[in-house]
Amino acid sequence: MSAQTRSSPVQRPPVSRRMQAVQDPIIPLLGEWIRAQPGTISLGQGVVYYPPPTAALTAARSYPETAEAHRYGPVVGEATLREAIQAKLANDNGLAVNDDRIVVTAGSNMGFMNSLLAIADPGDEIILLTPYYFNHEMAISMLGCRCVPVATDADYQPDLAAISAAITPRTRAVVTVSPNNPTGAVYPRATLRAINALCREQGLYHISDEAYEYFTYDDHEHYSPASDPTAADHTISLFSLSKAYGMAGWRIGYMVIPPAIATAVQKAQDTNLICPTLIAQQAAAAALNCGGDYCRQHLDSLAATRRQVLAALQPLAGRCVAPAANGAFYILLRVATDMDSLTLTRRLIAEHQVAVLPGQTFGCSDGCYLRISYGALAGQTAVAGVERLVGGLATLLGD
């Protein structure tokens, strides 16, 4: 070996430019900061405080021990679970669909990725309403597509004219999330029907993320755009058991798709997943057979926590604005400060032992925003966390 060879620097293979352009996931970073401050109350990650139904846990424990039961299953999901989904869609969403339009996924995030792989090519554009769900923006970037952010109004409601103005020849889909993460906004039926009709007229897909479908308050109602008789051929609906059934770690969701993209979705799913986890599917079928009432029985508790949180935020009126949050279990604060949201988030953890998510990860670029999640905590703990948040913000903003 020559001296020149011995002294040459090691050439390391590069990370793809595509992945370098994707924002870092905020939840692991937040976890590091929280671990460094024991006793921190987290108002960060969006999960519920209650466990899965007993029937789901029983079903998982009774999973067969035979070798055949532990081999691969159907790419699109087990027949028993798809039948349960079919009944749920008819009962709760006004969707009468054949089971060949249902695809079981590893959570609705996988459903979103499947959708993009099926409908978009590199360079194509996907419209997201801001503030957006950060994993949607990350998935778009990963696939070499372009996220087109379209601002919502002061109450975080969609602006149809702004959406229409953002459409170009490269646009492939408009994405809505209702009830919304991160704002808690619930989009009215008329608004969602108008967006869906716009997509139909323009030859676009409407991707409707409905992970928080059961979480609505004060007489607000969830609406599934695909229930419109004219929506079947261009509407992709994404659902999840993570929130409503307390099954986030089980990674089970499902898609309702137009027939034309079925083969493309199956190609994506077979390559990434082969099949959803079989034991989780058995538990999911048992959970769905409990019905939406399993989630609804917890809504009074969540609604009470929501009222307590909103009341606890009142002393910040004038320095922080919290538009109506009538769904999910989130409140997105607009904070009057020149501090960026990531810096403010870190200081709240380090100095006041309370964690929230910074708005910049949701595409909030016109000021400082913080997302509060109250779903994971029992009422008094959530209120204690918000009291820390209020005291911390009062101090950091100059009480």
Could you report the per-residue pLDDT of 43-92, keeping only the tens digit for each?
A: 988 999 999 999 999 999 999 999 999 999 999 999 999 999 999 999 99
Instruction: Decide if 18-50+298-396 and 54-291 have a common fold.
Output: no
Question: How does pLDDT run across 7-55, given as a tens digit for each residue?
Answer: 667 888 989 998 999 999 998 999 999 999 999 999 988 999 999 999 9
Quote the mean pLDDT of the chain. Answer: 94
What is the C-alpha end-to-end distance of the chain, expressed in Å? 68
What is the C-alpha separation between 331 and 321, in angstroms, rounded? 10
Count of helices and strands (H, E) across the chain: 15, 13
User: What pLDDT shows up at residue 11?
Assistant: 85
**159: exposed, middle or buried (C-beta count within 10 Å: 0-12, 13-18, 19+)?**
middle
Q: Are 191 and 209 in contact (CB under 8 A)?
A: no
Residue type, 226: A
Sign of the alpha-carbon dihedral angle for 101, 94, 238, 54: negative
Residue type, 92: D
Question: How does pLDDT run across 199-208, given as a tens digit for each residue?
Answer: 999 999 999 9
Question: How would you classify residue 300: left for phi > 0, otherwise alpha for psi between -120 and 50, otherwise beta?
Answer: alpha
User: What pLDDT shows up at residue 140?
Assistant: 98
Higher pLDDT, 329 or 378: 329
Q: Which fold has domain 18-50+298-396?
A: Aspartate Aminotransferase, domain 1 (3.90.1150)
Question: How does pLDDT run across 350-371, given as a tens digit for each residue?
Answer: 999 999 999 999 999 999 999 9
Question: How does pLDDT run across 278-315, given as a tens digit for each residue?
Answer: 999 999 999 999 999 999 999 999 999 999 999 999 99
User: Is 261 in a helix, a strand, or coil?
Assistant: helix
* Over residues 165-187, mean pLDDT: 98
Nearest to 185 by CA among 313, 296, 330: 330
User: What pLDDT shows up at residue 382?
Assistant: 84
Give the pLDDT band (50/70/90) at residue 111.
very high
Residue type, 318: G
Q: Are 327 and 212 in contact (CB under 8 A)?
A: yes
3-state SS of 39-79 is CCEECCCCCCCCCCCHHHHHHHHCCCCCHHHHCCCCCCCCH
User: What pLDDT shows up at residue 182?
Assistant: 97
Nearest to 97 by CA among 235, 202, 194: 235
What percent of the chain is predicted at pLDDT more than 90?
89
User: What pLDDT shows up at residue 148?
Assistant: 98
DSSP string across 166-195: H--TTEEEEEEESS-TTT-----HHHHHHH
Q: Are 155 and 321 in contact (CB under 8 A)?
A: no
User: What pLDDT shows up at residue 10?
Assistant: 84
How do beta strands 102-105 and 357-358 pair?
unpaired
Domain ranges across the chain? 18-50+298-396, 54-291
Q: Is the pLDDT of residue 336 over 80?
A: yes
The DSSP symbol for 337 reads -
Q: Are 360 and 30 in contact (CB under 8 A)?
A: no
Q: Are 239 and 211 in contact (CB under 8 A)?
A: yes
Cβ-proximal residues to 399 (8 Å cutoff; 6+ apart), any chain: none
Token pair recorded at residue 26: 């905020």
What is the C-alpha separation between 81 and 209, in angstroms, rounded? 20
Q: Taking the domain 54-291, which CATH number applies? A: 3.40.640.10
Cβ-proximal residues to 219 (8 Å cutoff; 6+ apart), any chain: none
Residue type, 344: L
Question: How many residues are there in the chain?
Answer: 399
What is the C-alpha separation between 200 and 180, in angstroms, rounded? 22
Give the pLDDT band (50/70/90) at residue 383.
confident
Q: Is the pLDDT of residue 110 over 80?
A: yes
* Over residues 101-129, mean pLDDT: 98
* Over residues 274-280, mean pLDDT: 97
DSSP string across 211-231: TTTT-B-TT-----GGGSTT-
Q: Is the pLDDT of residue 2 over 90?
A: no
How many Cα neighbours within 13 Å face the side chain of 114? 35
